[in-house]
Amino acid sequence: MKQMLKNNPQILMEAAIAERVRRLNDVELHHDLVNAPLIYNDKGKKPERLFERLIGYQANASSLDHCELDGAKALKTDEMTEWGRLMIELNNQYGVKILGGCCGTNGDHLRYLVENKK
């Protein structure tokens, strides 16, 4: 089982998000902010309940899972324009209001959001 999760980190990420949604449903929170790689850019792959309460997303510069990045010798990032497009899509399609960056992002990433959000 451990090897299967290591070979497919998306399963692990999906399980972690599902567990977070389950825990949030047990408390009286109305909104949530996520910090994660931008690998969930299709609403059909995301837990529907997450979109009912998701107000913010702080995306890493890489869509690689944390397990894939651990121990990397160099900074791994996706193309900034693709990162920005997916972030803006979260706002336009799903109403996510707080867009920000985390691991591997810099001022250029945030500037891209400001300059390209219509």
SS (H, E, C) 70-96: CCCCCCCCCCHHHHHHHHHHHHHHHCC
Average pLDDT score over the chain:
76
Which pLDDT does position 94 carry in this prediction?
81
Q: What is the pLDDT of residue 48?
A: 60
CA–CA separation, 46 and 42 (whole Å): 7
The verdict on pTM exceeding 0.75 is: no
Which domain does 27 fall in, by range?
2-116
Give CA–CA dist 8/4, Å, rounded. Answer: 6
Query: How many separate domains does the chain show?
Result: 1
Handedness of CA 104, 77, 10, 42 (dihedral sign): positive
Render pLDDT for 47-75 as a digit per residue (tens, 0 to 9).
Answer: 566 667 778 888 888 888 777 778 888 88
For residue range 83-96, list pLDDT tens digits in order.
Answer: 999 889 888 888 88
The partner residues of 24 in beta bridges, in order of sequence, read: none
